[in-house]
Chains A and B, each alone.
Chain A
Protein backbone atom coordinates (compact mmCIF):
# COMPACT_ATOMS: atom_id res chain seq x y z
CA UNK A 1 0.00 0.00 0.00
CA UNK A 2 1.35 3.37 -1.00
CA UNK A 3 2.60 5.63 1.77
CA UNK A 4 0.41 8.51 0.63
CA UNK A 5 -2.63 6.22 0.65
CA UNK A 6 -1.80 5.01 4.16
CA UNK A 7 -1.37 8.58 5.38
CA UNK A 8 -4.61 9.64 3.74
CA UNK A 9 -6.58 6.76 5.27
CA UNK A 10 -5.02 7.48 8.65
CA UNK A 11 -6.01 11.18 8.54
CA UNK A 12 -9.51 10.34 7.37
CA UNK A 13 -10.10 7.81 10.16
CA UNK A 14 -8.69 10.26 12.73
CA UNK A 15 -11.55 12.61 12.00
CA UNK A 16 -14.19 9.99 12.84
CA UNK A 17 -15.30 9.89 16.48
CA UNK A 18 -14.97 6.43 18.04
CA UNK A 19 -18.73 6.16 18.56
CA UNK A 20 -19.40 6.41 14.84
CA UNK A 21 -16.50 4.33 13.62
CA UNK A 22 -18.27 1.00 13.33
CA UNK A 23 -21.15 2.53 11.34
CA UNK A 24 -18.78 4.29 8.97
CA UNK A 25 -16.59 1.24 8.44
CA UNK A 26 -19.59 -0.94 7.75
CA UNK A 27 -20.93 1.57 5.25
CA UNK A 28 -17.51 1.68 3.57
CA UNK A 29 -17.80 -2.03 3.01
CA UNK A 30 -14.13 -2.54 2.29
CA UNK A 31 -13.09 -4.57 5.33
CA UNK A 32 -15.21 -7.67 5.89
CA UNK A 33 -17.48 -7.97 8.90
CA UNK A 34 -15.46 -10.67 10.65
CA UNK A 35 -12.32 -8.54 10.52
CA UNK A 36 -14.17 -5.53 11.92
CA UNK A 37 -15.32 -7.63 14.85
CA UNK A 38 -11.70 -8.25 15.86
CA UNK A 39 -11.07 -4.56 16.50
CA UNK A 40 -11.29 -3.39 20.08
CA UNK A 41 -12.84 0.07 19.94
CA UNK A 42 -12.39 0.66 23.63
CA UNK A 43 -8.66 1.11 23.43
CA UNK A 44 -6.99 4.41 22.61
CA UNK A 45 -7.71 5.89 19.22
CA UNK A 46 -4.10 5.57 17.98
CA UNK A 47 -4.16 1.81 18.62
CA UNK A 48 -7.47 1.43 16.81
CA UNK A 49 -6.07 3.32 13.81
CA UNK A 50 -2.91 1.19 13.79
CA UNK A 51 -5.02 -1.95 13.73
CA UNK A 52 -7.21 -0.63 10.93
CA UNK A 53 -4.21 0.42 8.85
CA UNK A 54 -2.79 -3.07 9.19
CA UNK A 55 -6.04 -4.58 7.91
CA UNK A 56 -6.16 -2.11 5.03
CA UNK A 57 -2.54 -2.96 4.17
CA UNK A 58 -3.40 -6.63 4.03
CA UNK A 59 -6.23 -5.94 1.64
CA UNK A 60 -4.09 -3.59 -0.47
CA UNK A 61 -6.27 -0.52 -0.21
CA UNK A 62 -5.95 1.78 -3.18
CA UNK A 63 -6.49 5.52 -3.48
CA UNK A 64 -9.98 4.85 -4.81
CA UNK A 65 -10.90 2.84 -1.73
CA UNK A 66 -9.57 5.63 0.44
CA UNK A 67 -11.58 8.16 -1.56
CA UNK A 68 -14.73 6.11 -0.96
CA UNK A 69 -14.04 6.17 2.77
CA UNK A 70 -13.74 9.95 2.54
CA UNK A 71 -17.14 10.14 0.82
CA UNK A 72 -18.75 8.02 3.55
CA UNK A 73 -17.29 10.29 6.25
CA UNK A 74 -18.53 13.38 4.46
CA UNK A 75 -21.99 11.88 4.07
CA UNK A 76 -22.17 11.34 7.80
CA UNK A 77 -20.88 14.86 8.57
CA UNK A 78 -22.45 16.70 5.68
CA UNK A 79 -23.31 19.73 7.78
CA UNK A 80 -19.62 20.49 8.25
CA UNK A 81 -19.45 21.82 4.71
CA UNK A 82 -21.25 24.71 3.10
CA UNK A 83 -23.22 23.65 0.05
CA UNK A 84 -23.96 25.68 -3.08
CA UNK A 85 -26.82 24.90 -5.40
CA UNK A 86 -26.65 24.85 -9.19
CA UNK A 87 -29.41 24.39 -11.69
CA UNK A 88 -28.96 22.87 -15.10
CA UNK A 89 -31.24 23.44 -18.03
CA UNK A 90 -31.81 21.81 -21.34
CA UNK A 91 -32.40 23.46 -24.69
CA UNK A 92 -36.11 23.94 -25.36
CA UNK A 93 -36.10 21.44 -28.15
CA UNK A 94 -34.16 18.70 -26.38
CA UNK A 95 -35.65 15.28 -25.87
CA UNK A 96 -35.95 13.79 -22.45
CA UNK A 97 -33.26 11.13 -22.51
CA UNK A 98 -33.22 8.02 -20.44
CA UNK A 99 -30.62 8.30 -17.73
CA UNK A 100 -27.82 5.76 -17.76
CA UNK A 101 -25.72 5.86 -14.61
CA UNK A 102 -22.69 4.17 -16.10
CA UNK A 103 -22.70 6.42 -19.12
CA UNK A 104 -22.95 9.46 -16.84
CA UNK A 105 -20.03 8.34 -14.71
CA UNK A 106 -17.70 7.54 -17.59
CA UNK A 107 -18.58 10.73 -19.45
CA UNK A 108 -18.01 12.87 -16.32
CA UNK A 109 -14.67 11.25 -15.64
CA UNK A 110 -13.55 11.60 -19.25
CA UNK A 111 -14.22 15.34 -19.38
CA UNK A 112 -12.16 15.97 -16.26
CA UNK A 113 -9.34 13.65 -17.20
CA UNK A 114 -9.06 15.11 -20.68
CA UNK A 115 -8.71 18.61 -19.23
CA UNK A 116 -6.48 17.99 -16.23
CA UNK A 117 -4.98 14.53 -16.68
CA UNK A 118 -4.52 14.07 -12.91
CA UNK A 119 -7.82 13.87 -11.06
CA UNK A 120 -9.27 11.33 -8.68
CA UNK A 121 -12.95 10.89 -9.34
CA UNK A 122 -15.07 8.62 -7.14
CA UNK A 123 -18.78 7.89 -7.14
CA UNK A 124 -21.10 6.57 -4.48
CA UNK A 125 -24.79 5.99 -5.05
CA UNK A 126 -27.32 5.95 -2.23
CA UNK A 127 -30.84 4.64 -1.96
CA UNK A 128 -32.43 8.07 -2.16
CA UNK A 129 -31.64 8.23 -5.85
CA UNK A 130 -28.67 10.47 -5.34
CA UNK A 131 -25.10 10.07 -6.47
CA UNK A 132 -22.21 11.52 -4.48
CA UNK A 133 -19.17 12.47 -6.51
CA UNK A 134 -15.79 13.26 -5.02
CA UNK A 135 -13.18 15.05 -7.11
CA UNK A 136 -9.59 15.55 -5.98
CA UNK A 137 -8.01 18.11 -8.28
CA UNK A 138 -4.56 17.93 -9.83
CA UNK A 139 -3.03 19.38 -13.00
CA UNK A 140 -1.06 18.04 -15.94
CA UNK A 141 2.07 18.18 -13.81
CA UNK A 142 0.96 17.66 -10.22
CA UNK A 143 -0.73 14.80 -8.46
CA UNK A 144 -4.25 15.28 -7.17
CA UNK A 145 -4.55 17.13 -3.87
CA UNK A 146 -6.48 14.63 -1.77
CA UNK A 147 -6.99 16.90 1.20
CA UNK A 148 -9.01 19.56 -0.58
CA UNK A 149 -11.56 17.66 -2.63
CA UNK A 150 -14.85 18.89 -3.99
CA UNK A 151 -18.04 16.98 -3.31
CA UNK A 152 -20.97 17.02 -5.68
CA UNK A 153 -24.40 15.58 -4.97
CA UNK A 154 -26.49 15.01 -8.06
CA UNK A 155 -30.04 13.76 -8.38
CA UNK A 156 -30.42 12.07 -11.77
CA UNK A 157 -33.29 13.25 -13.91
CA UNK A 158 -33.56 16.47 -11.93
CA UNK A 159 -31.79 19.69 -12.86
CA UNK A 160 -30.28 20.32 -9.42
CA UNK A 161 -26.71 19.80 -8.29
CA UNK A 162 -25.25 20.57 -4.87
CA UNK A 163 -21.54 21.24 -4.44
CA UNK A 164 -19.39 21.80 -1.40
CA UNK A 165 -18.22 25.30 -2.05
CA UNK A 166 -14.47 25.14 -1.97
CA UNK A 167 -14.26 25.75 -5.71
CA UNK A 168 -12.50 28.66 -7.27
CA UNK A 169 -10.30 27.56 -10.12
CA UNK A 170 -12.07 24.55 -11.44
CA UNK A 171 -15.66 25.62 -11.20
CA UNK A 172 -16.22 26.08 -14.95
CA UNK A 173 -14.65 22.74 -15.68
CA UNK A 174 -16.85 21.02 -13.13
CA UNK A 175 -19.90 22.71 -14.61
CA UNK A 176 -18.91 21.55 -18.08
CA UNK A 177 -18.38 17.99 -16.92
CA UNK A 178 -21.78 17.91 -15.24
CA UNK A 179 -23.71 19.36 -18.15
CA UNK A 180 -22.06 17.15 -20.73
CA UNK A 181 -22.39 13.99 -18.68
CA UNK A 182 -26.03 14.60 -17.82
CA UNK A 183 -26.90 15.81 -21.32
CA UNK A 184 -27.91 19.31 -20.29
CA UNK A 185 -27.18 22.53 -22.08
CA UNK A 186 -26.37 25.05 -19.40
CA UNK A 187 -25.57 25.30 -15.72
CA UNK A 188 -26.32 28.31 -13.52
CA UNK A 189 -25.41 29.01 -9.92
CA UNK A 190 -28.40 29.72 -7.71
CA UNK A 191 -28.32 32.28 -4.91
CA UNK A 192 -28.88 29.60 -2.33
CA UNK A 193 -26.30 28.40 0.16
CA UNK A 194 -26.38 26.58 3.49
CA UNK A 195 -24.77 23.87 5.61
CA UNK A 196 -27.91 21.83 5.74
CA UNK A 197 -27.94 19.75 2.59
CA UNK A 198 -31.27 18.15 3.41
CA UNK A 199 -32.93 21.54 3.81
CA UNK A 200 -31.44 22.73 0.51
CA UNK A 201 -32.84 19.60 -1.08
CA UNK A 202 -36.26 20.27 0.42
CA UNK A 203 -36.23 23.84 -0.87
CA UNK A 204 -34.95 22.95 -4.34
CA UNK A 205 -37.53 20.23 -4.83
CA UNK A 206 -40.25 22.19 -2.98
CA UNK A 207 -40.78 19.25 -0.65
CA UNK A 208 -40.91 21.16 2.62
CA UNK A 209 -44.61 21.92 2.62
CA UNK A 210 -45.86 18.56 3.72
CA UNK A 211 -48.11 18.75 6.70
CA UNK A 212 -47.92 15.91 9.15
CA UNK A 213 -50.53 14.80 11.64
CA UNK A 214 -48.36 15.75 14.61
CA UNK A 215 -49.26 19.44 14.69
CA UNK A 216 -52.61 18.71 16.35
CA UNK A 217 -50.85 18.22 19.65
CA UNK A 218 -50.11 21.97 19.96
CA UNK A 219 -53.79 22.94 20.08
CA UNK A 220 -54.84 21.49 23.44
CA UNK A 221 -51.79 23.11 25.02
CA UNK A 222 -52.90 26.57 23.91
CA UNK A 223 -56.43 26.10 25.14
CA UNK A 224 -55.15 24.78 28.41
CA UNK A 225 -53.07 27.90 28.95
CA UNK A 226 -55.90 30.33 28.33
CA UNK A 227 -58.36 28.41 30.47
CA UNK A 228 -55.87 28.21 33.33
CA UNK A 229 -56.45 31.68 34.61
CA UNK A 230 -59.66 33.49 33.93
CA UNK A 231 -58.28 36.47 35.81
CA UNK A 232 -55.96 37.19 32.89
CA UNK A 233 -57.73 38.83 30.01
CA UNK A 234 -56.13 39.41 26.65
CA UNK A 235 -57.44 42.66 25.25
CA UNK A 236 -56.04 42.29 21.77
CA UNK A 237 -57.33 38.80 21.09
CA UNK A 238 -58.60 39.78 17.65
CA UNK A 239 -55.23 41.24 16.75
CA UNK A 240 -53.44 38.14 18.04
CA UNK A 241 -55.60 35.92 15.93
CA UNK A 242 -54.94 38.09 12.90
CA UNK A 243 -51.20 37.81 13.46
CA UNK A 244 -51.46 34.03 13.85
CA UNK A 245 -53.48 33.76 10.67
CA UNK A 246 -51.08 35.89 8.64
CA UNK A 247 -48.08 33.99 10.00
CA UNK A 248 -49.70 30.74 9.04
CA UNK A 249 -50.44 32.02 5.55
CA UNK A 250 -46.87 33.16 5.03
CA UNK A 251 -45.09 30.22 6.62
CA UNK A 252 -47.54 27.36 6.73
CA UNK A 253 -48.05 24.76 9.43
CA UNK A 254 -45.16 22.56 8.46
CA UNK A 255 -41.63 22.54 9.91
CA UNK A 256 -39.46 25.06 8.10
CA UNK A 257 -36.32 24.01 6.23
CA UNK A 258 -33.19 24.91 8.13
CA UNK A 259 -31.03 27.76 6.90
CA UNK A 260 -28.41 29.69 8.83
CA UNK A 261 -28.42 33.03 7.08
CA UNK A 262 -30.03 35.35 4.57
CA UNK A 263 -28.04 38.13 2.99
CA UNK A 264 -29.36 41.25 1.29
CA UNK A 265 -27.09 43.43 -0.76
CA UNK A 266 -28.70 46.84 -1.13
CA UNK A 267 -27.85 49.22 -3.92
CA UNK A 268 -30.65 51.64 -3.49
CA UNK A 269 -30.92 55.33 -2.97
CA UNK A 270 -31.44 56.38 0.60
CA UNK A 271 -35.01 57.45 1.31
CA UNK A 272 -35.78 59.48 4.35
CA UNK A 273 -38.88 61.12 5.78
CA UNK A 274 -36.79 63.88 7.22
CA UNK A 275 -35.79 66.38 4.58
CA UNK A 276 -32.11 66.89 4.19
CA UNK A 277 -29.47 64.98 6.04
CA UNK A 278 -26.16 63.84 4.64
CA UNK A 279 -27.32 60.51 3.30
CA UNK A 280 -30.39 61.83 1.53
CA UNK A 281 -28.40 64.17 -0.70
CA UNK A 282 -26.31 61.49 -2.37
CA UNK A 283 -26.99 60.86 -6.04
CA UNK A 284 -25.28 57.48 -6.05
CA UNK A 285 -27.01 54.51 -4.54
CA UNK A 286 -26.10 53.61 -1.02
CA UNK A 287 -24.28 50.32 -0.72
CA UNK A 288 -25.23 48.31 2.27
CA UNK A 289 -25.12 44.65 3.25
CA UNK A 290 -27.63 43.22 5.68
CA UNK A 291 -27.15 39.71 7.00
CA UNK A 292 -29.58 37.80 9.17
CA UNK A 293 -28.09 34.82 10.99
CA UNK A 294 -29.67 32.25 13.24
CA UNK A 295 -29.31 28.56 14.06
CA UNK A 296 -32.68 28.14 12.34
CA UNK A 297 -33.45 31.31 10.41
CA UNK A 298 -36.90 30.51 9.04
CA UNK A 299 -38.22 29.36 12.42
CA UNK A 300 -36.92 32.56 13.96
CA UNK A 301 -38.59 34.70 11.28
CA UNK A 302 -41.83 32.79 11.75
CA UNK A 303 -41.87 33.55 15.47
CA UNK A 304 -41.12 37.30 15.11
CA UNK A 305 -44.70 38.50 14.70
CA UNK A 306 -46.34 36.20 17.29
CA UNK A 307 -43.66 37.24 19.81
CA UNK A 308 -44.51 40.88 19.26
CA UNK A 309 -41.07 41.82 17.98
CA UNK A 310 -42.27 42.76 14.52
CA UNK A 311 -45.48 43.68 12.77
CA UNK A 312 -47.35 41.15 10.72
CA UNK A 313 -47.19 40.70 7.75
CA UNK A 314 -43.42 40.49 7.51
CA UNK A 315 -41.64 41.95 4.54
CA UNK A 316 -42.04 39.70 1.49
CA UNK A 317 -38.25 39.81 1.14
CA UNK A 318 -38.10 37.62 4.24
CA UNK A 319 -41.04 35.35 3.60
CA UNK A 320 -40.17 34.52 0.01
CA UNK A 321 -36.93 32.69 0.84
CA UNK A 322 -38.10 29.07 0.45
CA UNK A 323 -40.50 29.86 -2.39
CA UNK A 324 -37.93 31.73 -4.45
CA UNK A 325 -35.18 29.27 -3.52
CA UNK A 326 -32.85 32.11 -2.63
CA UNK A 327 -31.09 33.34 0.44
CA UNK A 328 -28.80 35.82 -1.27
CA UNK A 329 -30.55 38.89 -2.64
CA UNK A 330 -29.46 41.94 -4.58
CA UNK A 331 -31.86 44.81 -4.25
CA UNK A 332 -31.82 47.75 -6.59
CA UNK A 333 -34.22 50.61 -7.13
CA UNK A 334 -36.88 49.83 -9.66
Chain B
Protein backbone atom coordinates (compact mmCIF):
# COMPACT_ATOMS: atom_id res chain seq x y z
CA UNK B 1 0.00 0.00 0.00
CA UNK B 2 1.58 3.19 -1.06
CA UNK B 3 -0.96 5.54 0.47
CA UNK B 4 -1.54 5.80 4.19
CA UNK B 5 -5.19 5.65 5.10
CA UNK B 6 -6.49 6.51 8.54
CA UNK B 7 -9.23 4.00 9.04
CA UNK B 8 -8.20 0.92 7.10
CA UNK B 9 -7.19 -0.99 10.24
CA UNK B 10 -8.80 -1.78 13.52
CA UNK B 11 -7.39 0.05 16.52
CA UNK B 12 -5.33 -1.78 19.08
CA UNK B 13 -6.67 -2.01 22.61
CA UNK B 14 -5.77 1.19 24.46
CA UNK B 15 -2.94 1.79 21.97
CA UNK B 16 -2.09 5.08 20.34
CA UNK B 17 0.43 5.16 17.50
CA UNK B 18 2.19 8.23 16.20
CA UNK B 19 4.28 8.42 13.05
CA UNK B 20 7.10 10.96 12.94
CA UNK B 21 8.34 11.71 9.44
CA UNK B 22 11.56 13.67 8.98
CA UNK B 23 15.02 13.46 7.43
CA UNK B 24 17.06 13.90 10.58
CA UNK B 25 16.98 10.66 12.48
CA UNK B 26 18.72 11.97 15.58
CA UNK B 27 16.04 14.65 16.13
CA UNK B 28 13.21 12.17 15.64
CA UNK B 29 14.81 9.73 18.04
CA UNK B 30 15.19 12.41 20.70
CA UNK B 31 11.59 13.53 20.29
CA UNK B 32 10.42 9.93 20.52
CA UNK B 33 12.40 9.42 23.72
CA UNK B 34 10.88 12.57 25.23
CA UNK B 35 7.37 11.48 24.32
CA UNK B 36 7.80 8.07 25.87
CA UNK B 37 8.95 9.65 29.11
CA UNK B 38 5.53 11.27 29.54
CA UNK B 39 2.93 9.71 31.78
CA UNK B 40 0.12 8.48 29.64
CA UNK B 41 -2.84 6.26 30.32
CA UNK B 42 -2.68 4.70 26.86
CA UNK B 43 0.09 2.54 25.50
CA UNK B 44 2.18 4.68 23.20
CA UNK B 45 3.92 3.53 20.08
CA UNK B 46 6.23 5.76 18.07
CA UNK B 47 7.13 5.00 14.49
CA UNK B 48 10.01 6.89 12.90
CA UNK B 49 10.33 7.23 9.16
CA UNK B 50 12.60 9.20 6.91
CA UNK B 51 10.00 9.57 4.19
CA UNK B 52 6.82 8.10 2.80
CA UNK B 53 5.76 5.72 1.39
CA UNK B 54 6.45 3.27 4.18
CA UNK B 55 7.69 -0.22 3.34
CA UNK B 56 4.65 -2.31 2.53
CA UNK B 57 5.71 -5.67 3.82
CA UNK B 58 5.52 -4.74 7.50
CA UNK B 59 2.64 -5.41 9.84
CA UNK B 60 2.06 -2.14 11.60
CA UNK B 61 -0.74 -0.85 13.83
CA UNK B 62 -3.20 1.83 12.79
CA UNK B 63 -1.56 5.23 12.73
CA UNK B 64 -3.46 7.83 14.71
CA UNK B 65 -1.36 10.94 14.13
CA UNK B 66 1.31 11.85 11.58
CA UNK B 67 3.79 14.58 12.44
CA UNK B 68 5.95 15.95 9.63
CA UNK B 69 9.12 17.32 11.15
CA UNK B 70 10.66 20.01 8.94
CA UNK B 71 14.05 21.47 9.73
CA UNK B 72 14.01 25.11 8.65
CA UNK B 73 17.77 24.98 8.14
CA UNK B 74 17.51 22.48 5.32
CA UNK B 75 15.72 22.75 1.98
CA UNK B 76 16.24 19.02 1.63
CA UNK B 77 14.01 18.51 4.66
CA UNK B 78 11.18 20.53 3.13
CA UNK B 79 11.52 18.77 -0.21
CA UNK B 80 11.32 15.41 1.51
CA UNK B 81 8.16 16.46 3.36
CA UNK B 82 6.50 17.67 0.16
CA UNK B 83 7.12 14.38 -1.64
CA UNK B 84 5.98 12.38 1.38
CA UNK B 85 2.70 14.32 1.63
CA UNK B 86 1.62 12.84 -1.70
CA UNK B 87 1.43 9.42 -0.10
CA UNK B 88 -1.06 10.39 2.57
CA UNK B 89 -4.77 9.86 2.01
CA UNK B 90 -6.96 12.97 2.12
CA UNK B 91 -8.91 11.66 5.11
CA UNK B 92 -5.85 11.98 7.27
CA UNK B 93 -6.00 15.73 6.97
CA UNK B 94 -9.11 15.87 9.13
CA UNK B 95 -7.09 16.53 12.21
CA UNK B 96 -4.68 13.61 12.10
CA UNK B 97 -1.76 15.41 10.49
CA UNK B 98 0.40 18.08 12.04
CA UNK B 99 3.52 19.96 10.95
CA UNK B 100 6.39 20.61 13.29
CA UNK B 101 9.00 23.17 12.26
CA UNK B 102 12.32 23.13 14.08
CA UNK B 103 15.26 25.49 13.94
CA UNK B 104 13.36 28.78 13.83
CA UNK B 105 15.35 30.04 16.81
CA UNK B 106 18.57 30.30 14.79
CA UNK B 107 17.38 32.77 12.17
CA UNK B 108 20.76 33.08 10.48
CA UNK B 109 20.84 29.35 9.68
CA UNK B 110 17.32 29.23 8.26
CA UNK B 111 17.14 28.62 4.54
CA UNK B 112 13.38 28.16 4.53
CA UNK B 113 11.26 31.16 5.26
CA UNK B 114 8.63 30.92 7.96
CA UNK B 115 5.94 31.85 5.47
CA UNK B 116 6.81 28.93 3.22
CA UNK B 117 6.08 26.40 5.91
CA UNK B 118 3.02 28.35 7.08
CA UNK B 119 1.69 28.26 3.54
CA UNK B 120 2.29 24.53 3.32
CA UNK B 121 0.42 23.91 6.55
CA UNK B 122 -2.40 26.16 5.38
CA UNK B 123 -2.64 24.31 2.05
CA UNK B 124 -3.10 21.05 3.89
CA UNK B 125 -5.42 22.59 6.48
CA UNK B 126 -3.30 21.22 9.30
CA UNK B 127 -1.85 22.81 12.42
CA UNK B 128 1.71 24.05 12.42
CA UNK B 129 3.80 23.96 15.56
CA UNK B 130 7.17 25.61 16.04
CA UNK B 131 9.72 24.08 18.37
CA UNK B 132 13.50 24.00 18.56
CA UNK B 133 13.87 20.29 19.09
CA UNK B 134 17.53 20.61 19.96
CA UNK B 135 16.71 22.39 23.22
CA UNK B 136 15.74 19.83 25.81
CA UNK B 137 13.15 21.89 27.66
CA UNK B 138 11.31 22.95 24.52
CA UNK B 139 11.40 19.39 23.31
CA UNK B 140 9.89 18.09 26.55
CA UNK B 141 7.06 20.62 26.35
CA UNK B 142 6.40 19.76 22.73
CA UNK B 143 6.46 16.06 23.56
CA UNK B 144 3.79 16.64 26.20
CA UNK B 145 1.66 18.53 23.72
CA UNK B 146 2.03 15.82 21.08
CA UNK B 147 1.07 13.11 23.56
CA UNK B 148 -2.15 14.98 24.37
CA UNK B 149 -2.89 15.46 20.68
CA UNK B 150 -2.19 11.81 20.02
CA UNK B 151 -4.59 10.68 22.71
CA UNK B 152 -7.32 12.84 21.21
CA UNK B 153 -6.62 11.55 17.68
CA UNK B 154 -6.72 7.97 18.90
CA UNK B 155 -10.08 8.64 20.47
CA UNK B 156 -8.90 8.07 24.03
CA UNK B 157 -10.14 11.42 25.28
CA UNK B 158 -13.88 11.32 25.82
CA UNK B 159 -15.82 14.20 24.29
CA UNK B 160 -13.07 15.47 21.99
CA UNK B 161 -12.35 14.18 18.53
CA UNK B 162 -9.51 14.94 16.12
CA UNK B 163 -11.80 17.12 14.03
CA UNK B 164 -12.91 19.07 17.12
CA UNK B 165 -9.31 19.71 17.99
CA UNK B 166 -8.55 20.85 14.49
CA UNK B 167 -11.26 23.46 14.47
CA UNK B 168 -10.24 24.59 17.96
CA UNK B 169 -6.65 25.06 16.82
CA UNK B 170 -7.63 26.77 13.62
CA UNK B 171 -9.72 29.47 15.20
CA UNK B 172 -6.67 30.77 17.03
CA UNK B 173 -4.79 31.42 13.77
CA UNK B 174 -4.26 35.02 12.78
CA UNK B 175 -6.52 36.30 9.99
CA UNK B 176 -3.54 37.28 7.78
CA UNK B 177 -2.98 33.63 6.93
CA UNK B 178 -6.26 33.52 5.05
CA UNK B 179 -4.75 35.90 2.53
CA UNK B 180 -1.94 33.51 1.58
Interface residues on A, range: 10 to 19
Which residues of chain B come closer than 8 Å to A238, judged between CB atoms?
55
Stretch at the interface among B29-37, B107-115, B131-139, B158-166: B29-37
Count residues on chain B whose CB falls below 8 Å from chain A CBs: 25
| CB atoms of B25 and A308 under 8 A apart | yes
Given contacts A231-B46, A232-B48, A235-B54, contact A309 B24 (CB under 8 A): yes
Closest Cβ of chain A to B118, distance in Å, is: 23
Cβ–Cβ < 8 Å partners of A308 in chain B: 22-26, 50
* B45 & A231 in contact (Cβ 8 Å cutoff): yes
In the assembly, what is the distance between CA of A331 and CA of B44, in Å?
52
CB distance from B42 to the nearest CB of A (A): 11
B50 CB contacts on chain A under 8 angstroms: 235-236, 239-240, 308
- Determine which of B22, B36, B54, B55 lies in contact with A229 in the assembled complex, contact meaning CB atoms within 8 Å: B36
Residues of A within 8 A of B48 (CB): 232-236
In the complex, per-residue mask of A219-250: 1 if CB is within 8 Å of any chain B CB, else 0: 00000000001011111101110000000000
Binding site of B, secondary structure by majority: helix, strand, loop or mixed? mixed
* Complex: A309 Cα to B24 Cα, angstroms: 7
Q: Does B60 contact A (CB under 8 A)?
A: yes
* Chain B residue contacts of A235, Cβ below 8 A: 19, 47-50, 54-55, 58, 60
A307 lies within 8 A of chain B by Cβ? yes
Q: Whole-angstrom distance from the CB of B18 to the nearest CB of chain A?
A: 10
- Given contacts A229-B36, A232-B36, A236-B55, whether A307 and B26 have CB atoms under 8 Å apart is yes
Chain A's nearest CB lies how many Å from the CB of B76? 7
Give B contacts to A, CB under 8 Å: 19, 22-26, 29, 32-33, 36, 43-51, 54-55, 58, 60, 74, 76
Q: A229-B36, A233-B48, A236-B50 are in contact. List 9 more A-B contacts (CB 8 A).
A: A231-B45, A232-B47, A233-B46, A235-B48, A235-B50, A235-B54, A235-B60, A236-B51, A309-B74
